Amino acid sequence: MADKQPLDFPTWLAALKKCRRCGLCETRTQAVAGEYRENPMIFMLGEAPGGREDQEGRPFCGQAGGILDDFLRLAELKREEVYISNVVKCRPTRPSNRGIYGDYANRKPTAEEIKTCSPWLELELRLLAPKLLVTLGGVPLSYVMGGSAAVGRYHGQVFYWRTHNVWVYPLYHPAALIYDASKKEAYEQDVRRLGQMCRDLTENPQKWQALLDDKQ
Residues of the shown chain interacting with ligand URA in the complex, contacts defined by CB under 6 A: 46-50, 53, 59-60, 62, 64, 86
**Cβ at position 63, least distance to ligand URA in Å:** 8
Minimum CB–partner distance for residue 106 and ligand URA (Å): 8
Q: How far is the CB of 139 from ligand URA (least distance, A)?
A: 7
Minimum separation from the CB atom of position 66 to ligand URA (A): 11
Q: Which is nearer to ligand URA, 86 or 142 (CB)?
A: 86
**Distance from C-alpha of 189 to C-alpha of 137, rounded to nearest angstrom:** 16
Residue with the CB atom nearest ligand URA in the bound state: 46
Nearer to ligand URA by Cβ, of 144 and 199: the residue is 144
Sheet holding 166-171, edge to edge: 82-86, 42-46, 132-136, 166-171, 159-161
Name which of 145 and 212 has its Cβ closer to ligand URA: 145
Q: Of 52 and 131, which has the nearer Cβ to ligand URA?
A: 52
Nearer to ligand URA, 60 or 172 (CB): 60
Q: How far is the CB of 209 from ligand URA (least distance, A)?
A: 31
